[in-house]
Structure 1
Amino acid sequence: MESIFFIVVAAVAVISSLLVITCKNPINSALSLVMTFFCLATFYVMLDAPFLAVTQVIVYAGAIMVLIIFVIMLLNIRTETAKRSSHAVFAGSALGIFVLFQTCLFLMRGGMTGAPGPLDHAAIVKAGHVELIGKALFTDFLLPFEITSILLLAAIVGAVILAKKKI
């Protein structure tokens, strides 16, 4: 039953990700991206990582997509009316098929290293996902976390300044 559910969610994820790049309307592309994020959150739940699933929904499907849709509406992006050149579509398709082939080849030939990490499954279950992630985020990775928040703030300020010049 799990494998059937996985196949259905994977098919929805692939279809919605294809809609992200094929929709001519940017709002429809953004909504398809939200659906892809929800499918990814479902995969996290299936991998027994509920914290990552909730974070995926709150941060990406919620906050980041609201920001993207706000920027699309603020900048008043028009739909593409010009016809795409066939050689660019062919080159992009060929590159995508090559990358897909290489990924499948890597996954079939590759294997798990079997190297033990600092935490095993029993320690993760005992302490909990959220506690371990929070401890690592606010001790070992505090500086990258804060730099990321400053970069996001700079991007928002830059988008507002660019939009103000056109108004």
Structure 2
Amino acid sequence: MDALLFLLFAAIAVGCAINLVLQTHPISSALSLVGVMGSLAVLYLLLGGEFIAAVQLIVYAGAIMVLFIFVIMLLNAGAEQKPTRNILRAAVALPLLFTLLAIGAFLVASQTPSTDVVKFGSFIVGGREIGSALFTTYLLPFEATSILILIAILGAIVLARKEI
């Protein structure tokens, strides 16, 4: 069952990632990125990382994507123009892409040792230890990240402001 769920959500993540790159409108690309983040959260759950799955959904699929949407709306970005298609380039690139993927998959499969299946809920470090470390040891990077996000929002507002 775990392998089936993994393959399903990995396929969703890859499909959303391909859609992310192929979209011409920035809002559609951002929504595809939300699909990638959501399926990655499920993959983290399958690996037994409940905290990282919750952080993935709350921070990345929630807060960061809202920030992306606001920046896109403030910059008033429109759809891109479609480039011209070259059939010869696609005919050469697709077999090379599949060959590269096959070689990469073979190398990963041959070099990776077999391990036991991860049990759901067997994550040793609990939420209390992570929260304590986040607000004691890692307080400075945590606050620096929030200040950087605030600066990015202000930068988007300055860039989007129209001169009168």
Match of 1:58 in 2: 58
Residue 151 of structure 1 pairs with residue 148 of structure 2: yes
Match of 1:80 in 2: 80
For structure 1, list consecutive stretches of 5 or more residues without a partner in the other structure.
113-120
User: How far did 1:21 drift?
Assistant: 0.4
> Helix, strand or coil: the match of 1:143?
helix
Match of 2:27 in 1: 27
> Of residues 118, 138, 142 in structure 1, which corresponds to 2:139?
142
The within-5 A match list for 1:30-109 is 30-83=30-83, 104=105, 107-108=108-109
For structure 2, list consecutive stretches of 5 or more residues without a partner in the other structure.
114-120
User: How far did 1:166 drift?
Assistant: 5.0
User: How far did 1:73 drift?
Assistant: 1.5
Higher helix share: 1
Could you tell me how far apart the structure 2 residues matched to 1:150 and 1:100 are?
A: 40
Q: Deviations over 1:45-97 (max 9, x none)?
A: 111211111111111111111111111122111111151686xx87x989987
TM-score by length of 1: 0.75
* Counterpart residue identity of residue 70, structure 1: F
Match of 1:16 in 2: 16
> Helix, strand or coil: the match of 2:80?
coil
* Counterpart residue identity of residue 31, structure 1: L
Higher relative contact order, chain-length normalized (CA < 8 Å, sep 6+): 2
Q: Number of matched residues?
A: 155
Match of 2:129 in 1: 132
CA shift in 2, pair 1:157/1:101, >3 Å: farther
Q: Deviations over 1:114-160 (max 9, x none)?
A: xxxxxxx98x54x52x1222122223222222221111111111111
Percent identity, please: 44
TM-score by length of 2: 0.76
CA shift in 2, pair 1:23/1:144, >3 Å: same
CA shift in 2, pair 1:4/1:163, >3 Å: same
